[in-house]
């Protein structure tokens, strides 16, 4: 039925081929209408906030599935048996042996009494065990969040002068953090966690690790008067002053020798995976040995600072200590928000990386709900902000945990320790806690990753450096602010200054590529093919794009005229395939562009405009303005039509 | 040399065709390296901030061209002659006849004494004439900016109680506005003006026109005690109260009769373009007639409120009235910033629309520098914020102006009026000024445009409505804030939730289109072709995109298995042509996606990744991870390779 190859070729040469394009024009312009009024926004909101419901399931089943989603224990609890429990028991006990000294150390970092760190290792893990969906994550206090809380809250109340007010602020901030975390999960705002990019987190963690190490100098050197600031300059100044006054070298010798012991066990554990339990129980061994040492030598009378009294027993209620009125409520909400995001970032990163090792999917939003509820419960039972700890999760995984029951075992063990063993910690030296924290910080500094970021993306590296130095020389908030500002500045630049790429044809094909990227691509004579590299043409970038295209046409046109006056630009083909949406400013910019090109005698041609674009251009009668026959499905068709038109003009002229 | 068609076909069938793809793979992956370290950002900044210098010109010529750019009078002044001056003289005089009554009226709206409006029509137009590049724009006070200044500044100082302090605030805000405008121009931040989209301006102008009209009720009704708030509710309440106390209907009759006269002349001018001068001089005629009327009937003794004393003479210096210290300096800077943006938006819109009628290009950044310097000079010589007025520019254009000399003529005429005629304005009734402002406001309300926005883009219309009702029932700032928030919320939603489109092949071609947009496109069996609709894969959207693609694969995979178990998805081709840049989080997301798909037994294939993408994927060894042979230039090639691989698998399996 169709014409033979030679026939169609001769038809093309005679310019009769124009009988074909209209068919394609119809298919481009007669696409289905996009969704009606408000749907555009409503869809985004629905997609964003409400979980999707499977249409085929009944309401009852939907409720059940939501319920099971909230309490994953209902799913995995059914298949739980003795064998898995044996694994979880071993993992939980290993976890507790690492968790008890770390919790006391982190409480010290958070400027709270030691028992609050232990409390935080009891209630939140229990709540998480029934609500969380990660099987490996170990819940409890972590270094960075402890530092964050103390560095931001001690500006409001001095923990040494007025510990009661300070504790109230801590619990209130924890409560707010829990509310924010639960809200993020329930309203599916998980993407907020993504606003701290990978690079920023690397920089942030590195900076935080150094700041935390510096804070440990207080315990390690036995300094009585330390600064409340966290930046490097203030801390070094404080240490320098302490050296010139009086300090107790016994603390330092004790701390350093155990630090060396901890680092060696860590090194051995790294080298031999079967000995993973060695670094895991080393902190407990250090605590026991050093406590015995101090007790036997009565070194606490000779300058070694010890923990002394820890209040034992069950977590007391702290519901009455939450303050929602008064001058600091808003400040606590702010601290809560920052801590909530940092804590979630760490927990989601930890959870996801271990979930991907085990090969299951972790729903970020559900995790946030679980974290939120566990922190709300924590804030009511004298706990401060808990999250997933990277080092303890790794130990939990290595120890062979199977389900969140290992968290329950750990919580019960810590609770038992609170009931029975707190009196034994009277002689534990603070320097040991400092060395335990120091040894656990090494994992936070990831120079290799920072180098990889530098290699791949310089802007990301800049954000990473911004976070690092911001924390080091400013404060946690300044570091985060700088890093987020750097990360977003590139996005904003991309938004308001999208690139326009010049395309060329790859010889002998219908493939059109950027001539910058593929130097072998050839420009057609008398024709400019441009591609807009933006996914929308809105008020923020429409004028910029219009002016760039106009400048291209004028510049290229002039060059051409100088070199070869006959080869002046007659048409501009704009590849719109990237542009998905347009607003009225965008359409006005296209109209102005068309007018401008018209005065220069250049035909504006469009290739592959998207769904919404076609619809809106039709509504705004822009299609009639440039002419239906100048809108094509592909760049190839557009170019062919232009070349034919040029030939006709040439013949007529 | 090449194989015949039948040979190549048989080769393809035998799966031997794999000797071809490597060639294309090389051309995809061996693109030139992108610009070195920091270039990416540096380029954006240079493009953004510093004007480009033509490499071929010497430094001296560059300086000269920058100088000529700053003072366009140097370019057009050389060719100025008597004939063009005659045109400009006529245009300038027409402009002055409209400008004098309008300036007095707008000064009244800005809560300043009448002479300040006249001052503002003297200095800024003179400066603009030597620095500006628009030939038609008429400089002076305008309604919206006058309203903005008074509505924001009278919260700080009451113009009736303490006019001296109020004036100081006005001059300081004008100075700041000038500084901001000049800075925007010098640092090429002109895009900031684009942040108020076309739709927002339509809504804003409509709302402002109604608010200004309501403010005129004070003059029109002769109300002594009026509200200082601008929202509809407060104003109607104030008018209602005034009605119940005492008001002077003489003002109303006088104002209304002249308003009818002005509207009739406006209507005639619209109908007959040759009579454009009639609405242009009608305000002056109204002022003269009404002044004579009041003078002869001594109506000022019977309740008609008149201007009374106007201080004549040259603009006094106001340099000493600028306040850069004290409690309100920061507030003045804020007011200055808002006014600067609104004034620039109006001026650039006016200038551009008339430049495009005359067919020349107006450089927005240079215009901003000129506007900035003219307002800085104005603030030092008792002027308040001046900008391009739409109504007077139209008159200037209709009156046949050729260059900015018409602005000079107008300024000299206004200056002469200040020297000679101010005493004659003693008996001019305030109601006439109100009717002159009212008659000029009609042009600001553009219902047709609002309807067009509604038709084309609902979100834009929402922003337009937000601005309109925000100004009407809140304040100018609230209106702008609502409108900008609505406009940006869509951009942010687009950023963090880009769409993933499923592509299909159009029968018999190598064209792949969205199957939503083109229902005739067919999906290939066992193959999912997806396109990312985002111009970057950064931390804000990378995880979202990864999860969406993974969900697509699982969902589509399940559906397929249920319907036809043999047709399970074996490969996912991702069309990356839209994605221009990627950061480390984006690469990590791709790696995770690859891993996830790998566990599902799905091959990840990429088509047409951009320049930077290839470079960074190589650096991060992602290319090695998915395999060089799975990256293609076009979707067509990728699909063919996948289908061949599936066939091989089928044969082997």
Higher per-residue pLDDT: B50 or A470: A470
Whole-model pTM?
A: 0.78
pLDDT above 70 coverage of chain B, percent = 89
Per-residue model confidence (pLDDT) at position A5: 40
Confirm whether the ipTM is greater than 0.90.
no
What average pLDDT does the structure give for chain A?
A: 83
pLDDT tens string B47-99: 544 445 555 557 787 787 777 777 888 888 888 888 889 989 989 998 898 89
CB B487 within 8 A of CB B453: no
Per-residue model confidence (pLDDT) at position B22: 41
Nearest to A549 by CA among A522, A518, A579, A521: A579
Per-residue model confidence (pLDDT) at position B18: 41
Specify whether the backbone of A457 is left (phi greater than 0), alpha (psi in -120 to 50) or beta: beta
Q: From A636, which residue of chain B is nearest by alpha-carbon distance?
A: B511
CA angle B411, B413, B416 (to 5 degrees): 110
pLDDT tens string B358-394: 777 777 888 899 999 999 999 999 999 999 988 888 8
Residue A439 has pLDDT above 70, yes or no: yes
- The token duo for B523 is 């999906």
pLDDT tens string B467-517: 999 989 988 888 888 988 888 888 888 888 777 888 988 887 888 888 888
Per-residue model confidence (pLDDT) at position B19: 41
Strand ranges, E, within A18-170: 138-140
Residue B559: pLDDT band (50, 70, 90) is: low
Per-residue model confidence (pLDDT) at position B119: 94
pLDDT above 90 coverage of chain B, percent = 22
> Mutating which of A457, A510, A611, A640 best tests the B interface, going by the most B Cβ atoms within 10 A?
A457
In the predicted model, what is the mean pLDDT of residues A211-225?
84
Q: Which residue has the tokens 């965008």?
A: A586
Does B585 contact A at CB distance below 8 Å?
yes
Residue B406 has pLDDT above 90, yes or no: yes
In the predicted model, what is the mean pLDDT of residues A255-265?
91
Residue A73: pLDDT band (50, 70, 90) is: confident
Per-residue model confidence (pLDDT) at position B74: 82
Phi, psi (deg, nearest 5) at residue B571 = -145, 150
> Mutating which of A492, A581, A584 best tests the B interface, going by the most B Cβ atoms within 10 A?
A584
What average pLDDT does the structure give for chain B?
A: 83
Across B219-233, B316-330, B364-378, B491-505, the highest mean pLDDT is recorded for B364-378
Cα separation of B206 and B199, whole Å?
Answer: 11
Chain A environment of B199 (Cβ under 8 Å)? 539, 583-585
Interfacial B residues in 185-214 facing A (CB < 8 Å): 191, 194-200
Nearest to B536 among A200, A494, A519 (CB): A494
Per-residue model confidence (pLDDT) at position A415: 92
Residue A628: pLDDT band (50, 70, 90) is: confident
Q: From B585, which residue of chain A is nearest by alpha-carbon distance?
A: A198
Within chain B, all domains assigned CATH 3.30.750.24 are found at 497-652
Cα separation of B420 and B310, whole Å?
Answer: 11
- The token duo for B546 is 């990864």
Does A232 contact B at CB distance below 8 Å?
no
Residue B231 has pLDDT above 80, yes or no: yes
Q: From A197, which residue of chain B is nearest by alpha-carbon distance?
A: B539
Residue A45 has pLDDT above 70, yes or no: no
Residue B38: pLDDT band (50, 70, 90) is: low
Residue A36: pLDDT band (50, 70, 90) is: low
Per-residue model confidence (pLDDT) at position B280: 84
Per-residue model confidence (pLDDT) at position B564: 54
CB B487 within 8 A of CB B474: no
DSSP labels, B219-242: HHHT-SS--S--SHHHHHHHHHHH
Residue B26 has pLDDT above 50, yes or no: no
Higher per-residue pLDDT: B44 or A373: A373
Q: Which residue has the tokens 């229990």?
A: A126
A126/chain B closest Cα distance in angstroms: 29
Residue B176 has pLDDT above 80, yes or no: yes
Per-residue model confidence (pLDDT) at position A48: 47
Nearest to A142 by CA among A208, A202, A220, A214: A208
Instruction: With CB atoms and an 8 Å threshold, state whether B538 touches A197.
Output: yes
Cα separation of B92 and B139, whole Å?
Answer: 11
- The token duo for B337 is 């910033």
B336/chain A closest Cα distance in angstroms: 22
> Mutating which of A517, A532, A613, A617 best tests the B interface, going by the most B Cβ atoms within 10 A?
A517
pLDDT tens string A527-546: 899 998 888 888 888 888 88
In the predicted model, what is the mean pLDDT of residues B423-441?
86
Which of A182-186, A275-279, B589-593 is predicted least confidently?
Answer: A275-279
Residue B457: pLDDT band (50, 70, 90) is: confident
Distance of CA A292 to the CA centre of its chain: 44
In the predicted model, what is the mean pLDDT of residues B446-461?
88
Checking DSSP bridges between strand B603-607 and strand B631-632, what pairing results, if any? Answer: parallel
Superfamily name and number for A497-652: STAS domain (3.30.750.24)
CB A144 within 8 A of CB A441: no
B499-508 contact pairs (CB < 8 A, 24+): B499/A580, B499/B533, B500/B530, B500/B531, B500/B532, B500/B533, B500/B545, B500/B548, B500/B549, B500/B552, B501/B530, B501/B531, B501/B533, B502/B528, B502/B529, B502/B530, B502/B552, B503/B529, B503/B530, B503/B531, B503/B575, B503/B635, B504/B529, B505/B639
Nearest to B499 among A544, A580, A582 (CB): A580
Which of B3-17, B58-72, B596-610 is predicted least confidently?
Answer: B3-17
Nearest to B547 by CA among A197, A365, A259: A365
Cα separation of B627 and A155, whole Å?
Answer: 54
Nearest to B206 by CA among B432, B435, B470, B388: B470
Residue A178: pLDDT band (50, 70, 90) is: very high
Helix axes A458-473, A232-244, angle to 10 degrees: 40
Per-residue model confidence (pLDDT) at position A558: 57
Nearest to A584 among B453, B490, B633 (CB): B453
pLDDT above 70 coverage of chain A, percent = 89
Which of A378-382, A630-634, B7-11 is predicted least confidently?
Answer: B7-11
Cα separation of B428 and B423, whole Å?
Answer: 10
In the predicted model, what is the mean pLDDT of residues A561-578?
75
Cα separation of A178 and A339, whole Å?
Answer: 10
Residue A139 has pLDDT above 70, yes or no: yes
Per-residue model confidence (pLDDT) at position B128: 94
Cα separation of A307 and A290, whole Å?
Answer: 12
CB A254 within 8 A of CB A306: no
Interfacial A residues in 437-466 facing B (CB < 8 Å): 452-453, 455-460, 462
Cα separation of B618 and A623, whole Å?
Answer: 42
Which of A161-170, A445-454, B216-225, B473-482 is predicted least confidently?
Answer: B216-225
Cα separation of A404 and A73, whole Å?
Answer: 9
Does B534 contact A at CB distance below 8 Å?
yes
Specify whether the backbone of B326 is left (phi greater than 0), alpha (psi in -120 to 50) or beta: left
Residue B356: pLDDT band (50, 70, 90) is: confident
Nearest to A144 by CA among A183, A175, A102: A102
Residue B314 has pLDDT above 90, yes or no: no
pLDDT tens string A372-427: 999 999 999 999 999 998 888 888 888 888 899 999 999 999 999 888 888 888 88
A527/chain B closest Cα distance in angstroms: 22
Does B365 contact A at CB distance below 8 Å?
no
Instruction: With CB atoms and an 8 Å threshold, state whether A497 touches B44.
Output: yes
Residue B586 has pLDDT above 60, yes or no: yes
pLDDT tens string B120-173: 999 999 999 999 888 889 999 999 899 999 989 988 888 888 999 999 999 999
- The token duo for A314 is 């069950």
């Amino acid at each position: 039925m169709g014409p033979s190859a030679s026939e169609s070729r001769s038809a093309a040469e005679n310019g009769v081929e124009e009988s074909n394009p209209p068919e394609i024009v119809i298919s481009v312009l007669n696409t289905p209408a996009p969704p009606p009024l408000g749907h555009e926004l409503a869809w985004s909101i629905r997609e964003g906030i409400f979980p999707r419901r499977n249409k085929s399931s009944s309401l009852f089943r939907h409720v059940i599935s939501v319920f099971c989603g909230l309490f994953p224990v209902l799913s995995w609890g059914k298949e739980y048996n003795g064998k898995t429990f044996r694994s979880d028991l071993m993992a939980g006990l290993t976890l507790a042996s690492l968790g008890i000294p770390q919790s006391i150390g982190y409480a010290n970092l958070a400027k709270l009494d030691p028992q609050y760190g232990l409390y935080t290792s009891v209630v939140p893990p229990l709540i998480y065990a029934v609500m969380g969906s990660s099987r490996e994550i170990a819940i409890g206090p972590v270094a960075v969040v402890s530092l964050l809380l103390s560095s931001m809250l001690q500006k409001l109340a001095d923990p040494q002068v007025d510990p009661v007010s300070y504790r109230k602020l801590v619990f209130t901030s924890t409560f707010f953090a829990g509310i924010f975390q639960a809200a993020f999960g329930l309203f599916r705002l998980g993407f907020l966690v993504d606003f701290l990019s990978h690079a920023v987190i690397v920089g942030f963690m590195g900076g935080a690790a150094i700041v935390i190490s510096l804070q440990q100098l207080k315990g390690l050197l036995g300094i009585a008067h330390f600064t409340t600031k966290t930046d490097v300059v203030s801390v070094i100044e404080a240490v320098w002053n302490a050296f010139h006054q009086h300090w107790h070298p016994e603390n330092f010798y004790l701390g350093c020798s155990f630090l060396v012991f901890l680092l060696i066990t860590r090194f051995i554990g790294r080298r031999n995976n079967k000995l993973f339990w060695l670094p895991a129980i080393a902190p407990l061994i250090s605590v026991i040995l050093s406590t015995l040492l101090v007790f036997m030598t009565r070194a606490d009378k000779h300058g070694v600072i010890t923990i002394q009294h820890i209040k034992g027993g069950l977590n007391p209620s702290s519901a009455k200590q939450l303050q929602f009125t008064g001058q600091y409520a808003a400040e606590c909400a702010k601290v809560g928000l920052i801590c909530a995001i940092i804590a979630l970032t760490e927990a989601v990163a930890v959870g996801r990386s271990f979930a991907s090792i085990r090969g299951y999917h972790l729903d970020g939003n559900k995790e946030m709900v679980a974290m939120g509820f566990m922190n709300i419960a924590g804030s009511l039972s004298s706990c401060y902000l808990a999250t997933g700890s990277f080092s303890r999760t790794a130990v939990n995984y290595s120890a062979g945990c199977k389900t969140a029951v290992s968290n329950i075992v750990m919580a019960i063990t810590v609770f038992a320790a609170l009931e029975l063993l707190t009196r034994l910690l009277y002689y534990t030296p603070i320097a040991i806690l400092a060395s335990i924290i120091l040894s656990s910080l090494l994992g936070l500094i990831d120079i290799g990753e920072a180098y990889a970021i530098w290699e791949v993306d310089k802007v990301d590296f800049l954000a990473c450096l911004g976070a690092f130095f911001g924390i080091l020389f400013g404060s946690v908030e300044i570091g985060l602010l700088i890093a987020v500002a750097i990360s977003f500045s590139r996005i904003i630049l991309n938004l308001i200054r999208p690139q326009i790429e010049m395309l060329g044809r790859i010889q002998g094909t219908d493939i059109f590529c950027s001539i910058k990227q593929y130097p072998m691509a050839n420009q057609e004579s008398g024709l400019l093919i441009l591609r807009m590299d933006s996914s929308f043409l809105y008020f923020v970038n429409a004028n910029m794009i219009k002016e760039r295209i106009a400048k291209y046409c004028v510049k290229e046109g002039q060059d051409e005229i100088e070199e070869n006056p006959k080869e002046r630009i007659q048409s501009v083909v704009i590849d719109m395939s990237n542009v998905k949406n347009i607003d009225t400013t965008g359409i006005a910019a296209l109209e102005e562009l068309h007018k401008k090109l018209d005065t220069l005698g250049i035909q504006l041609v469009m290739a592959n405009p998207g769904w919404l674009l076609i619809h809106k251009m039709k509504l705004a009668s822009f299609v009639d303005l440039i002419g239906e026959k100048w809108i094509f499905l592909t760049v190839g068709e557009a170019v062919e039509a232009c070349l034919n038109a040029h030939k006709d003009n040439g013949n007529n002229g």
